[in-house]
Structure 1
Amino acid sequence: MAQLRSEIIDLLRSVYAEDDVQSIARRLALRLDAPIASGQPAADRVTERDVILITYGDQIREPGVPPLQTLGATLQELIGGVINGVHILPFFPYTSDDGFSVVDYKQVNPDWGTWADVRRMGAHFRLMFDAVINHISQASDWFQAFRRGEAPYTDFFIVVDPGTDLSQVVRPRTLPLLTPVETADGVKHVWTTFSADQIDINYSSPDLLLAVLDVLLFYVEQNAQLIRLDAIG
């Protein structure tokens, strides 16, 4: 653990001021000291021997059964001997972009099933989750708390003066880069790389970084052996 802490501190120093580095390291150590509840052995690296199916969690349906249950049972029955992994595309509550505008990182879309369904699938396949951590839905609790002016969420998003010259920003979208939103402190313009519904989150905030790391560790606890980082520039 001492070596890991040293490596983490070195990485943090490349981004944060020294006071923040020490604070983040202490708080992260408390989270890492908590036991990981998945009960799964440490995952091996992906190799050419892995065969991973990519799918949405609701692609296979049957009446009266949550789609994630049906997916797991079908894959195990029909192709369990062919694949050894399943990449489930975002299965969280969302508001747009086919799941890539997440409302709550720690909830399963209730129309699709539960975490128990996901963990059950993980008993038979290596699971990959999407970590959609470049942005979050405007309907999320994080963003609504930002709008109300609640700490620490006031620093969770990137606020930009609309007069800033952004002409050199290149991205695969034609929608406005800044989106005006009403907040308790008046109108603020927030950075939205992809759409007005997908609000970019601000990694210059140590509290935001720790919140995201907590989400990633939570995914490990839910049997994720692989995590795809979505839209990481």
Structure 2
Amino acid sequence: MKNNVQLITYVDRIAHSDLKGLKQVLDTELHDLFGGVHLLPFYYPIDGSDAGFDPIDHGKVDERLGDWNDVKQIGQHYDIMADLIVNHMSAESTEFQDVLAKGKQSPYWDLFLTKESVFPNGLSAEDQAKIYRPRPGSCFTTYTLADGTEVEFWTTFTSNQIDINVHTAAGQAHLNNVLNRFHDSKVDLIRLDAAGYAIKKPGTSCFMIDESFAFVDELAKKANSLGMTTLAEIHSHYMTQIDIAKRVDMVYDFALPPLILHSLFSKDASALTHWLSIAPRNCVTVLDTHDGIGIIDAGPVGNKAGLLTPAEIDNLVNQIHRNSKGESLQATGAAASNVDLYQVNCTYYDALAQNDVDYLIARSIQFFAPGIPQVYYTGLLAETNAMELLNKTQVGRDINRPYLHVSDIQTSMQKPVVKALCELIKLRNTQQAFNGEFSMSYDNQQLHLTWKNGDDTANLIVDFAIKDAQISVTNKQQSQRIVLTELLAKHKL
């Protein structure tokens, strides 16, 4: 994976197009900005109950987008990340429908997890209380088989997402088939979606237990043997992220987005500085994704202290709601369906009250933090909350999942803040200093982030007291200094 800024996008939502159209956008409107692209689920169907994360057929490209050869064509020019949806598949899948029709006589019976398969002696109240729930409600959904038998299937997320039994031959074959399809289609990086929930064991939380680490480790080795890199998607306590980083090729730095917001809101970067001193170096950095802004990643979990205190987390969440004029409140928690208990749904630009300077400071910190940066399509274009879509679907995360046309991209690319952001992306992509050693310091509300590679250096100084930042780069060809307020002002002329 190139050490360049990567794009995260839905194929059909960035330009209301297909895979061929996306490649054209990457080659034209977004030319020279991205070394790779995370193609959010493009499997059949893209418009299920969870925007593609509930595939009926994980091995089939939705025909409205194209086919696997179109994926391969993008892979000829860009690094591609794709989601391996480890934990579940759609209740509408051929496999699950066969189970409903034939019960235990179905060849796919062992592909799915039931309450009985995990708790053959029954689920005690004590065991049930230990199970970690990412969303409200039961982790089981009752389905009636053709013969009238009622069976409780494990559904971690929604009733339409039936959990896979990854221990069985059928479960292993399913995952292997998808891995081989990825390999044949030039997918370079695999995002292990919801991998922390894949292993269920009585008497445990059924989330990121010891057996989960072993499973992720085994899956990473399989992908590596096919020449692919793995990225674990885990929203949890920050120490879990550090532990899982030792077992896979890459992890997300999900603590970074809330910590940057906290630093800008409070004008205190001490928590951010502490995290950057201990954070995994083999990480992908994000500020925004197709999901919400993670809170659990920076906060306390149970009796484990977080990077931020409970009071700081409350202040952070409430400030996001204020900055977005209450829009994030309409999309978060019990206010909208398909909720995540650990995320705030809002564009990052609105979380910062559409303040262009603060937004560029946030992106600068992301680009200078250790790891490979990814930028979500709405973040690239400084999009605001998609309230019309949210009101239509009542799905909280749709507030940050708008459908755009090429004309929308062209218009947004003319915004001063977007022009300035594109300059920062190009700087991050071209400076060899970012392939060197990282160091930092924090004093008197000034954060210094420095990269040095031989004679090449790149330095970022953020002054939280006055909300400004400057970047200086030095190499054999030039020395350059960029003050973010001046960069923004230049593009407003």
Q: Give the TM-score band, short-chain normalised.
A: 0.7 to 0.9
Whether the 8 Å contact between 2:44 and 2:52 is mirrored in structure 1 is: yes
Task: Tell me by how many angstroms 1:114 deviates.
Answer: 2.0
2:65 is aligned, of 104, 109, 112, to 112
4+ residue runs over 4 A deviation:
none
CA distance in 2, matches of 1:93, 1:141: 12
2:13 is aligned, of 59, 64, 67, to 59
Corresponding residue of 2:93 = 140
Task: Tell me by how many angstroms 1:108 deviates.
Answer: 1.2
2:79 partner letter: R
Give the 3-state SS of the residue equivalent to 1:144 in structure 2.
Answer: helix
Residue 109 of structure 2 is aligned to residue 154 of structure 1: yes
Q: How many residues are paired up?
A: 184
Identity between Structure 1 and Structure 2 (%):
35
2:41 is aligned, of 90, 103, 126, to 90
Corresponding residue of 2:183 = 220
More helix per residue: 2
Give the 3-state SS of the residue equivalent to 1:227 in structure 2.
Answer: strand
Structure with max Cα Rg? 2
Corresponding residue of 2:392 = none
The RMSD of aligned alpha carbons is 1.8
Corresponding residue of 1:174 = 136
Task: Tell me by how many angstroms 1:211 deviates.
Answer: 2.1
CA distance in 1, matches of 2:69, 2:129: 47
Matches within 5 A, 1:1-233: 46=1, 49-61=3-15, 66-94=17-45, 95-149=48-102, 150-161=105-116, 164-165=123-124, 166-184=128-146, 186-233=149-196
CA distance in 2, matches of 1:91, 1:173: 24
CA distance in 2, matches of 1:96, 1:54: 20
Give the 3-state SS of the residue equivalent to 1:228 in structure 2.
Answer: strand
CA distance in 1, matches of 2:191, 2:5: 16
Q: Structure 1: which 5+ runs fail to align?
A: 1-45
Corresponding residue of 1:5 = none
2:20 partner letter: Q
CA distance in 2, matches of 1:188, 1:76: 50
Whether the 8 Å contact between 1:59 and 1:67 is mirrored in structure 2 is: no
CA distance in 1, matches of 2:69, 2:24: 13
Give the 3-state SS of the residue equivalent to 1:224 in structure 2.
Answer: coil
TM-score by length of 2: 0.36
2:114 partner letter: V
> What do the CA deviations read for 1:57-82 (whole angstroms, capped 9, x no partner)?
112446xxx52211111101233422
Task: Tell me by how many angstroms 1:228 deviates.
Answer: 0.3
Task: Tell me by how many angstroms 1:96 deviates.
Answer: 1.0
Whether the 8 Å contact between 1:146 and 1:156 is mirrored in structure 2 is: no
Give the 3-state SS of the residue equivalent to 1:139 in structure 2.
Answer: coil
Give the structure, 1 or 2, with the largest relative contact order (CA under 8 Å, sep 6 or more).
Answer: 1
CA distance in 2, matches of 1:226, 1:152: 31
Whether the 8 Å contact between 1:145 and 1:153 is mirrored in structure 2 is: yes
Task: Tell me by how many angstroms 1:136 deviates.
Answer: 0.4
2:54 partner letter: S
Task: Tell me by how many angstroms 1:230 deviates.
Answer: 0.3
2:96 partner letter: F
TM-score by length of 1: 0.73
